[in-house]
């Protein structure tokens, strides 16, 4: 029986011991007066603990809190055990000091103090004690941004100056100032070097500032052909600073095309039109782009357009645009236009350009007329472009686009020169109301100013990329403006539906025509593995003509990215 008694005794002892150890410990903190105790209670502290060590740590944490708020005379007088579960801490907090006066050395850069809320005098600054830590952190960050990331600020000789003010001396421990000695790109090793220097504006030899570097590498998300995969990292050695940028190449080539069909009101036959649009981006790893466009429509018009953009030539901030446009109107006339432009990329979003263009048009009819004749033009052009992308959204990759071009020059016809000016505008914006709803607004327009006009020099517009519900390039004008609007509802991350409401105004001085146009309809977009599929149904009308279903247009397009 004795072994059994021993077993029961040991078992009960273990249970009681575990029960005692599992009990929570309580803490009450008392100060030198009821008012001081109320101050402590207003600051707050934990009152229940699993063991004595965490309880004691809380008392010292409370000490740090009170000292930071100005009670620098704080003292822990005792921590006494009242019973098995209760401890009382007796402390002294003293009088709260509100202001600290920090003295600095003559070589301290006082310009940094403008970043704080401190009151600055000849050789010291004053700040509320509650703001001292924030002030010192701001100063330390500013010093680090000047190229010394390992600098440290300390307060020494802390002393009372009067009943409400304390004083201290500021010391700065400087280390070797750092600059970027080398930049290494990981993941996409053939990333265009000119983009690092000109687009990201990161250069070897520049003062090291990690926050600035991070903000600049985020601009990689505004490139169509690359993206950042993780934050930049820095390797510090005794004599060098190496910056690592992590990025990867993305698919950026586009192939776009559409097929349109409608009923010819004269023949009652279905007629087809369409276009092919090929865009190749960064295939040579220089950030270059090539666009080839071919369009043929139902009124026997053909367009061939090729454009080449070469940014940052030879590592400079200057880029080059080359363009060739060929247009033929059945057997009436043909026009070719060449364009050369130099661009300067101000920053990631803004670009300006200046260039020249030359146009030559030939009358293909047997006889020339006063409104259809051979001519050639030479223009000097200036351009401004702004782009704000949102490439994270494959359905709507561009949030805001603005492009305006002004040209000034002469038209030569039968050896007679005539001064002309031309303006073109294209801008659009996506207003994101919430994750599912957005509104798209687009404005395009052009104006040709001249003393007289030829039919083969006027603008041609209309169709899916202009005012919808009308035949492609069926509208002719020397001045026009088009407003496109869509209310878009996103059914999922890959499907959206939208309304179509378009309005346009144009003038044709040759026919003495001024007309308002309207287009209504609906459409949908579907992101598939093959690309972005779009379907639009729209019908157009003039201000003096009602809608007719026979005039409706159905447009189908597919934009493939590869």
pLDDT over threshold 80, residue 94: yes
pLDDT of residue 312: 95
Q: Based on the domain organization, do 192 and 326 belong to the same domain?
A: no
Distance (Å, rounded) from C-alpha 84 to C-alpha 46?
18
Question: Strand 437-449 and strand 459-461: pairing?
Answer: unpaired
Strands 270-281 and 459-461: unpaired
The upper half-sphere exposure of residue 359, i.e. CA atoms within 13 Å in the direction of its Cβ, equals 23
Structure token pair of residue 428: 């659009």
Question: Does the structure show a pLDDT above 70 at 547?
Answer: no
CATH code: domain of residue 42:
3.10.20
Shared domain for 384 and 278, answered yes or no, is yes
Provide the 3-class DSSP secondary structure of residue 50: coil
Q: How far apart are CA 194 and CA 513, in angstroms?
A: 50
Do the beta carbons of residue 232 and residue 245 sit within 8 Å?
yes
pLDDT at residue number 521: 94
Asked if 213 contacts 240 with a C-beta cutoff of 8 angstroms, the reply is no
- The DSSP string of 124-142 is EEEEEGGGHHHHHHHHHHH
For residue 16, tell me if it sits in a domain. no
Cross-strand bridge partners of residue 537: 522, 554
- Choose one of 45, 68, 92: the last residue of a domain: 92
Pick from 146, 147, 117, 149: nearest CA to 132: 117
**Is 208 a member of any domain?**
yes
For residue 182, the Cα-to-chain-centroid distance in whole angstroms is 27
Q: What is the rounded CA–CA span in Å between residue 315 and residue 198?
A: 8
Q: What DSSP state is assigned to residue 551? A: G
Same domain, yes or no: 146 and 70:
no
Model confidence band, residue 56 (pLDDT cutoffs 50, 70, 90): very high
The conformation of residue 204, written as its DSSP 8-state character, comes to: T
Question: What's the confidence (pLDDT) of residue 21?
Answer: 46
State how many domains the chain has.
Answer: 4
The answer on 168 and 129 residing in a single domain is: yes
Classify the C-alpha dihedral 484-489-495-498 as positive or negative: negative
β-strand partners of 270: 263
Distances in Å between the Cα of 461 and the Cα atoms of 381, 468, 474, 548 are 21, 10, 6, 21
507 and 556 together in one domain: yes
Whole-number Å distance between alpha carbons of 482 and 443: 6
Is 381 in the same domain as 511?
yes
Residues 486-506: what's their mean pLDDT? Answer: 96
Which residues share a beta bridge with 351?
A: 345, 385
Least confident segment among 11-15, 133-137, 501-505 = 11-15
Sheet (strand 241-249) strand order: 182-186, 241-249, 226-236
Same domain, 261 and 393: yes
Of 56, 74, 92, which marks where a domain is finished? 92
7 part of a folded domain: no
| Residue range 236-262: mean pLDDT, rounded | 85
Q: Report the first-to-last Cα separation within the chain, whole angstroms.
A: 86
CA 273 to chain centre: 37
My answer on whether 131 and 197 are in the same domain is no
Cα–Cα dist 128/134, whole Å: 10
DSSP classification of residue 222: G
CA angle, residues 92, 98, 102, in degrees to nearest 5: 110
Query: Is the pLDDT assigned to residue 272 strictly greater than 80?
Result: no
What DSSP letter does each residue of 319-336 carry, written as one string?
EEEEEEEEEEETTTEEEE
pLDDT in tens, 30-52: 999 989 899 889 888 999 998 99
Sheet with 48-49: list strands edge to edge.
48-49, 25-30, 86-92, 75-83
pTM: 0.73
Segment 372-381 mean pLDDT: 96
Confidence class for position 143, pLDDT limits 50, 70, 90: confident
pLDDT at 18: 46
- The pLDDT assigned to 236 comes to 86
- If pLDDT is split at 50, 70 and 90, which confidence band does 267 have? low
Instruction: Name beta bridge partners: 525.
Output: 496, 534
CA atoms of 427 and 445, how far apart (whole Å)? 9
Residue 536: inside a domain: yes
Helix (H, G, I), strand (E, B) or coil at 287: coil
Look at residue 4 and tell me if it is in a domain.
Answer: no
In this structure, what CATH number is given to the domain that contains residue 499?
Answer: 2.40.160.50
Nearest to 398 by CA among 440, 344, 337, 458: 440
Domain of 118? 99-173
532 and 503 within one domain: yes
> Residue 17 above 50 pLDDT?
no
Residues 229 and 340 in one domain: no
DSSP-derived letter for residue 207 is: B
Residues 114 and 98 sit within 8 Å (Cβ to Cβ):
no
Considering only 202-216, 319-333, 380-394, which range has the smallest mean pLDDT? 202-216
The CATH number of the domain where 132 resides is what? 3.10.20.310
Q: Does a structural domain hold residue 1?
A: no
């Amino acid at each position: 029986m004795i072994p059994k008694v021993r077993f029961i005794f040991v078992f009960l002892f273990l249970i009681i011991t575990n029960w005692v150890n599992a009990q929570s410990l309580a803490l009450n903190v008392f100060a030198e007066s009821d008012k001081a105790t109320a101050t402590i209670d207003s600051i707050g502290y934990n009152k229940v603990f699993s063991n004595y060590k965490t309880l004691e740590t809380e008392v010292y944490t409370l000490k740090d809190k009170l000292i930071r708020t100005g009670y620098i005379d704080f003292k822990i007088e005792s921590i006494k055990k009242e019973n098995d579960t209760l401890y009382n801490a007796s402390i002294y907090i003293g009088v709260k000091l509100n202001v600290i006066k920090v003295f600095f050395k003559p070589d301290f850069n006082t310009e940094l103090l403008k970043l704080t809320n401190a009151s600055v005098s000849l050789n010291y600054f004053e700040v509320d004690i509650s703001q001292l830590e924030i002030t010192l952190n701001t100063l330390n960050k500013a010093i680090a941004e000047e190229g010394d990331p390992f600098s440290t600020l300390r307060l020494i000789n802390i002393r009372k100056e009067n009943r409400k003010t304390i004083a201290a001396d500021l010391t700065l421990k400087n280390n070797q100032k750092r600059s970027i000695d080398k930049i290494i790109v990981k993941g996409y090793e053939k990333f265009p070097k000119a983009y690092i220097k000109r687009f990201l504006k990161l250069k070897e030899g520049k003062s090291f500032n990690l926050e600035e570097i991070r903000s600049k590498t985020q601009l990689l998300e505004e490139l169509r052909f690359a993206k950042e995969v993780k934050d930049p990292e820095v390797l510090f050695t005794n004599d060098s600073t190496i910056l690592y940028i992590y990025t990867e190449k993305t698919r950026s080539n586009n192939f776009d095309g559409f097929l349109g069909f409608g009923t010819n009101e004269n023949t009652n036959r279905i007629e087809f039109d369409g276009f092919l649009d090929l865009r190749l981006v960064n295939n040579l790893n220089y950030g270059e782009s090539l666009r080839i466009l071919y369009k043929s429509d139902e009124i026997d018009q053909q367009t061939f357009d090729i454009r080449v953009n070469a940014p940052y030539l030879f590592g400079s901030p200057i880029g080059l645009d080359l363009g060739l446009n060929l247009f033929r109107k059945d057997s009436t006339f043909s026009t070719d236009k060449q364009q050369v432009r130099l661009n300067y990329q101000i920053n990631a979003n803004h670009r300006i350009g200046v260039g020249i263009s030359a146009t030559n048009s030939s009358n293909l009819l047997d006889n020339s007329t006063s409104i259809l004749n051979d001519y050639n033009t030479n223009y000097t052009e200036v351009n401004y472009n702004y782009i704000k992308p949102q490439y994270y959204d494959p359905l709507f990759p561009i949030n805001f686009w603005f492009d305006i071009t002004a040209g000034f020059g002469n038209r030569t016809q039968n050896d007679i020169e005539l001064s002309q000016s031309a303006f073109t505008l294209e801008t659009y914006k996506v207003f994101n109301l919430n994750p599912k709803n957005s509104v798209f607004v687009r404005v395009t327009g052009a104006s040709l100013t001249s003393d007289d006009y030829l039919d083969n020099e006027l603008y041609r517009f209309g169709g899916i990329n202009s005012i919808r519900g009308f035949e492609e390039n069926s509208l002719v004008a020397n001045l026009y403006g088009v407003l496109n609007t869509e209310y878009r509802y996103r059914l999922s991350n890959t499907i959206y539906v939208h309304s179509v409401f378009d309005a346009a105004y144009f003038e044709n001085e040759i026919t003495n025509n001024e007309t308002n146009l309207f287009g209504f309809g609906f459409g949908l977009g579907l992101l598939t593995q093959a690309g972005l599929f779009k379907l639009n149904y729209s019908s157009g009308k003039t201000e003096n003509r009602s809608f007719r279903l026979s005039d409706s247009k159905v447009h189908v397009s597919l934009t493939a990215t590869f």
